[in-house]
Structures are given as structure tokens and as C-alpha cells.
């Protein structure tokens, strides 16, 4: 089992390689790895990321088959199935690091802001369920002067939404709370920059790290 802090270091180093355009040649798929992995897996981190096509998790962290347990949903929101997925990774595979990975200029955040400012009546029920989960993170920001600065508003809303998802996962179930208290499970928040490729771990990272 890889500790949460060692897992963080692996992700940070992998992202540095990605940014430097120095990715491992066999990172995403090698021919022999699937056979080794057929019987077992031991992903060292679970990542809850956004579905955005520009943020493929294994690539931005320069990791390969079997390394990451990835959950992706528009707006990196937390609903019961995401909590269950994290429980599954932690209990079944011993994964000790969970990262909520949002990103700059997130379309789901933008859609939520639009819906709050100019509500559409005919929005699909399913899409509405995503907007409803993001809404509490951004509503308070819309009540401040940030509403006059769209770029800063989206930036702050992305971070607020990541913090809410981190908090929700940390307290999403008794199983996860116990793993955090007694088994070294760490849940952190990070933002990927579409502009630079850099992942900034900004929430829940221990100070000495």
C-alpha cells in the first residue's frame, strides 16, 4: 500500500513531467501491462475529475494502466455513486489518497452561473441535477462584487466547488470518516490549469508537504 503522501509525490512528479513534455513513453498503455494487471490492481490514488475532454487524468499526471482509480463526472460533483466509488477504491484496493480535480474555465460551473443569472425553464431534469449540486458553491459568490468580473467569478466558483466536493467526500460516509481518522486516508482538492497544464493542490494538503 502506498501512503497518501507518497501518492501525492507521485502525482506531483508526474504532472511536472507532463508540463515539461517529458512523459514516460509507456505511461498510458504498454503491451505487457494488461496481462500483469488482469489478476489484480492496486491503484495508488483515486481521482474525482471533471468529464472535460481537455483534462484526461492519466495523461496530466503521466500515469499508466493500473495506477489511478478515476471517477469522472461533469463539474466533479459528489453524489452517492461517487462516495460509493471512493469507498470501493479505499476498501478493496487500499487506495489512501483521494483527489478532487477541478479545472480552470469549467463548462459545468459556467452553465451553473448562467442558469442562476438567466434561468432556463426547459433545462433537462438530468442536467438540472448537476447544476443543483454546483449551485450552493457559487450562489454566495454571485451576491458579491465578483459578479462584475466574470473571469474572477468563474475562477473563485471553480475553487469553491472543489472545496465543497472535498468536504462532501471527507464526510460522505461513516466508512470514509473512519478511514480518514484511523487509516491514513487523505482527501485533497486540486485545480488543473487549462492554460499551463499545472495542477495546483490547494486544499487539504498537509503543511509540511
**Contact positions toward Zn ion, by CB under 5 A?**
50, 52, 106, 108
Cβ burial, residue 110 (10 Å; 0-12/13-18/19+) = middle
C-alpha to C-alpha distance for 192 and 158, rounded to whole angstroms: 10
Closest approach of Zn ion to the CB of residue 107, in Å = 5
Closest approach of Zn ion to the CB of residue 11, in Å = 19
Is there a contact between 111 and 151 (Cβ–Cβ < 8 Å)?
no
Closest approach of Zn ion to the CB of residue 69, in Å = 19
C-alpha to C-alpha distance for 133 and 155, rounded to whole angstroms: 18
Q: Which is nearer to Zn ion, 16 or 72 (CB)?
A: 72
Stated length of the chain: 209
C-alpha to C-alpha distance for 181 and 179, rounded to whole angstroms: 6
Q: Which is nearer to Zn ion, 81 or 208 (CB)?
A: 81
Closest approach of Zn ion to the CB of residue 52, in Å = 4
Identify the bridge partners of residue 97 per DSSP, sorted by sequence position.
Answer: 186
C-alpha to C-alpha distance for 178 and 183, rounded to whole angstroms: 7
Closest approach of Zn ion to the CB of residue 74, in Å = 6
Q: Which is nearer to Zn ion, 5 or 74 (CB)?
A: 74
Q: Which is nearer to Zn ion, 106 or 190 (CB)?
A: 106
Q: Which is nearer to Zn ion, 53 or 124 (CB)?
A: 53
Amino acid at each position: 500500500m502506498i501512503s497518501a503522501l507518497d501518492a501525492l509525490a507521485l502525482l506531483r512528479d508526474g504532472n511536472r513531467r507532463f508540463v515539461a513534455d517529458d512523459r514516460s513513453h509507456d505511461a498510458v498503455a504498454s503491451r505487457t501491462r494488461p496481462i500483469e494487471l488482469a489478476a489484480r490492481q492496486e491503484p495508488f490514488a483515486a481521482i474525482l475529475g471533471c468529464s472535460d475532454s481537455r483534462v484526461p487524468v492519466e495523461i496530466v499526471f503521466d500515469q499508466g494502466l493500473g495506477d489511478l482509480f478515476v471517477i469522472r463526472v461533469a463539474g466533479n460533483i459528489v453524489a452517492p455513486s461517487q462516495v460509493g466509488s471512493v469507498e470501493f477504491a479505499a476498501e478493496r484496493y487500499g487506495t489512501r489518497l483521494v483527489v478532487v480535480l477541478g479545472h480552470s474555465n469549467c463548462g459545468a460551473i459556467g452553465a451553473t452561473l448562467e442558469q442562476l443569472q438567466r434561468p432556463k425553464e426547459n433545462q433537462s431534469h438530468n442536467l438540472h441535477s448537476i447544476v443543483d449540486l454546483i449551485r450552493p458553491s457559487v450562489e454566495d459568490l454571485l451576491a458579491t462584487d465578483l459578479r462584475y468580473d466574470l473571469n474572477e467569478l468563474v475562477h473563485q466558483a471553480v475553487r469553491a466547488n472543489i472545496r465543497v466536493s472535498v468536504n462532501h467526500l471527507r464526510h460522505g460516509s461513516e466508512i470514509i470518516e473512519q478511514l480518514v481518522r484511523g487509516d491514513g486516508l487523505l482527501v485533497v482538492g486540486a485545480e488543473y490549469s487549462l492554460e499551463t497544464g499545472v495542477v495546483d493542490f490547494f486544499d487539504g494538503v498537509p503543511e509540511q508537504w
